[in-house]
Amino acid sequence: MLLSIKDLRASIEGKQILNGINLTIKPGEVHAIMGPNGSGKSTLASVLAGREEYEVQGGEVIFEKQDLLDMSPEDRARAGIFLAFQYPVEIPGVSNANFLKTAVNEVRKSRGLEAYDSKDFLKVMQEKMKLVEMDKVMTQRSVNEGFSGGEKKRNEIFQMAMLEPKLGILDETDSGLDIDALRIVSNGVNALRNAERSFLVITHYQRLLDYIVPDFVHVLYKGKIVKSGPKELALELEEKGYDWIKDEVDALNA
Amino acid sequence: MSTTTSTISGNPTLWQDPEHYLAIDQESNVGLRDLRKDAISHFLRMGIPNKHHEEWKYLNFASLAKTHYHPVTAHQPFQLTSADAERFRLAGKDAILVMIENGRLNKQASNLKALPKGIQIGTLADFADDAAVVSEYAMHAPYQEEPFVALNTALAFAPVVVKVDNHAIIPNAIQIICLSNADHEAIAVNVRFLIVVGKHAECTLVKSHHTIHDRFPVFLNTVVETVLGENAKLNFCKVQDEREKTTHINYHKVIQARDSVHHITTLTIGGSLVRNNLNILLNDENCNAHLNGLYVMNGTQVVDNHTLVDHSKPNCYSNELYKGIIDEKSTGVFNGKIFVREDAQKTNAFQSNKNIILSNDATMNTKPQLEIFADDVKCSHGATTGQIDEEALFYLRSRGIAEPEARALLNHAFAADVINQVALEPLRESLMELLNRKLRELEA
């Protein structure tokens, strides 16, 4: 088991968002989380990555036998969690390459690996840049500063490729992407799929799942996973919308 | 008087009897006797400013007024050598070092012989026959209105002159290293500079302040007058890296002639109380002034930057960027005035002040002040004071960078923006090192 979430409850500013999430992810699996707006998809991603404004009220998250909820964001990253942000942050004055070198070497250090020197780092970087068709100029610029929406998302996947996580969480990575950018980003993710690495793909739209084909699809509604199924579930949602699931759940709770 | 203390020389302290130190005999050959007498009378009339004075309201001079400073006199022997200056080299291996020891030009410890053709550095007495220099001395810093300028005008006994000849392009940067050495008593240093850059001349000057010993408090009162000739270009960098017992009051007046370009960067990381007045007069058409400032503070440091860019003629450009990082119980002040006179049509004047406050006990007071009397101008100003960007901090941490390093990275990026404006690469690198040293202090 890579990740096991049991009865996870979380709130922000007093508002309950997650109402008992249960989910297990094995190594190499790709799970998609879909759901209407406001169902708690991004909150789940944020809680897993350790965003501090969310308050966890109950439940547990075990990542490779460690209590994830007890760990700082940086320790989670070092343990192998990577969150591709829905809205990547612009950091003026910090060059992409410098930032990544610091991050990669921190993560390597925590895994008992030697830090890359500049030459090795450059080599690895050039190799990974190809995955998302990154321009060299982009690595020299400040982190995400002045990047287009597509460039920002490509930069997220590029960072993921550099950090080699065990679990990649994609938080609505497809939002705001045109079809070309979506293809580039998806190709990058697919190139990173392997028997050990798992993904949690959070999306509002089925379209992304044509490119990143999941093993499982879960539907989140009102802070709970209300339906799980194979990849075909995504197609059904695309066709029928979310209303039939809402009706089902609301009828059950009525 | 209860404040009397005995001194090694038996002289009174500065505040007991400033007139005792009137620097009348030191430079008799340049005829400053009347000027100095007039200046001291203005100082005695105005006194040390207090909080009721609008321009000084954030500064507390109680401890300055209580300290028994002993003005450094011309009779004290020099103690420092060129090796002491070398320790503070900032502008690269090709820079020529000039040492000011406790307010006096230490010629022995300076490498004046290496000065390239076209630039001369000496005391005002050395320039007694140079009318172009003598006629500018004390003509620009208003001792009638500014108490510390008055004190400086009266007591600075050996003003330092930097003169760049017309058309001279000076290949080497010149670093004037001002060292304070208070190893046996509290000292008051009144140091005065006159910088005259001739027509079509170009030069890079660095003026840096450091402490050798601060077993006792240091009161540093500096006045700089810079006169830029037609089409002259001056890159000026001021570094204030004193230790914590230093109070530094600095008044800097710049007069720019037609087509001149002036870049001035002020980096303040040291000193317990620092006040910088930077006053730039764009005195003719097509002048260009770039003012950049960075202050990084912790402990109980107080750093107050008062700037004024006075657009008096049309078609001039000024751009000002001041940034600050304020930690622990420190206090920052930024007051940025821009005057655009009636005549100064087609002025472009921009100002920005940005601050990061790192602690609940830190304070920043910022006040942009634009007074525009012309109608065809482009002016803008902006001031922000905030905390570190939490979203950016989380982003960095989510990539495995530990919180303290992530904070340091963000602070560095914020501050480096100012240092990156410095053109001379070795200087820029040295300033980055100073910044990093200070940022490590903040994290500790």
Site from A98, A102, A160 to mutate, B interface, most B CB atoms within 10 angstroms: A102
Whether pLDDT at B265 is above 90: yes
**Contact yes or no for B254/B238 (Cβ under 8 A):** no
Tally of CA atoms within 13 A in the half-sphere of B227 that contains its CB:
21
- DSSP label of A89: P
Mean of pLDDT values over B418-444: 93
Predicted confidence band of residue B25 (pLDDT cuts 50, 70, 90)? low
Is some CB atom of chain A closer than 8 A to the CB atom of B394? yes
Please report residues of B whose CB lies closer than 8 A to that of A76.
398
Note whether A74 contacts B410, CB cutoff 8 Å: no
Query: What pLDDT does residue B96 have?
Result: 98
Which residues in chain B (396-415) have CB-CB distances under 8 A to chain A?
Answer: 396-403, 405-406, 409-410, 412-414
Of A2, A12, A14, the C-alpha closest to A61 is: A2
Which residues in chain A (104-123) have CB-CB distances under 8 A to chain B?
Answer: 104, 106-107, 110
Burial of B388: CB neighbours in 10 Å, binned 0-12, 13-18, 19+: middle
| Average model confidence (pLDDT) across chain A | 94
Predicted confidence band of residue B27 (pLDDT cuts 50, 70, 90)? low
Is some CB atom of chain A closer than 8 A to the CB atom of B417? yes
Order of strands, edge to edge, in the sheet holding A167-171?
A81-84, A167-171, A198-202, A30-34, A216-221, A224-229
Is some CB atom of chain B closer than 8 A to the CB atom of A73? yes
Mean of pLDDT values over B332-336: 98
Give the number of other Cβ atoms within 10 Å of residue B278's Cβ: 23
- Minimum-distance CB partner of B399 among A52, A93, A159: A159
pLDDT tens for each residue of B64-105: 999 999 999 888 889 999 999 999 999 999 999 999 999 999
Amino acid, single-letter form, for residue B74: A
Tally of CA atoms within 13 A in the half-sphere of A46 that contains its CB:
20
Residue, of B24 and B134, whose pLDDT is higher: B134
How far apart are the C-alpha atoms of B60 and B38, rounded to whole Å?
Answer: 27
- Minimum-distance CB partner of B413 among A50, A94, A163: A94
Angle between helices B425-443 and B403-419 (to 10 degrees): 150
Strands (E), B154-297: 160-164, 174-182, 187-197, 202-214, 218-228, 233-241, 246-256, 261-268, 273-282, 288-297
- DSSP label of B35: H
- Minimum-distance CB partner of B400 among A93, A107, A143: A107
Query: What pLDDT does residue B3 have?
Result: 41
pLDDT tens for each residue of B222-247: 999 999 999 999 999 999 999 999 99
Amino acid, single-letter form, for residue B412: H
pLDDT tens for each residue of B337-381: 999 999 999 999 999 999 999 999 999 999 999 999 999 999 999
Amino acid, single-letter form, for residue A184: I
Predicted confidence band of residue A99 (pLDDT cuts 50, 70, 90)? very high
| Average model confidence (pLDDT) across chain B | 94
How far apart are the C-alpha atoms of A34 and A212, rounded to whole Å?
Answer: 14
Is some CB atom of chain B closer than 8 A to the CB atom of A45? no
Is some CB atom of chain B closer than 8 A to the CB atom of A95? no
Please report residues of A whose CB lies closer than 8 A to that of B392.
89-91
Distances (CA, A) of B211 to A33, A64, A151: 62, 55, 49
**Contact yes or no for B126/B161 (Cβ under 8 A):** yes
Tell me the three state secondary structure of residue B16.
coil
* ipTM exceeding cut-off 0.85 for this assembly: yes
Query: What pLDDT does residue B4 have?
Result: 41
**Contact yes or no for B234/B228 (Cβ under 8 A):** yes
Q: Residue length, chain B?
A: 444
Mean of pLDDT values over B282-292: 98
Please report residues of B whose CB lies closer than 8 A to that of A91.
389, 392, 395-396, 410, 413
Note whether A99 contacts B399, CB cutoff 8 Å: yes
Of A89, A74, A95, the C-alpha closest to A153 is: A89
Hey, what are B115's tokens? 């000065």
Q: What global pTM score does this model have?
A: 0.87
Predicted confidence band of residue B30 (pLDDT cuts 50, 70, 90)? low
The listed range with the strongest mean pLDDT (A34-38, B34-38, B188-192) is B188-192
pLDDT tens for each residue of A121-163: 999 999 999 999 888 888 889 999 999 999 999 999 999 999 9
Mean of pLDDT values over A49-68: 96
Whether pLDDT at A171 is above 80: yes
Amino acid, single-letter form, for residue A50: G
Is some CB atom of chain B closer than 8 A to the CB atom of A14? no
- Minimum-distance CB partner of B400 among A90, A93, A106: A106
How far apart are the C-alpha atoms of A244 and A249, rounded to whole Å?
Answer: 9
Note whether B397 contacts A74, CB cutoff 8 Å: yes
State how far residue A16 is from chain B, nearest Cα, in angstroms: 22
Q: What is the percentage of chain B residues whose pLDDT exceeds 70?
A: 96
Whether pLDDT at A89 is above 70: yes
Whether pLDDT at B1 is above 90: no
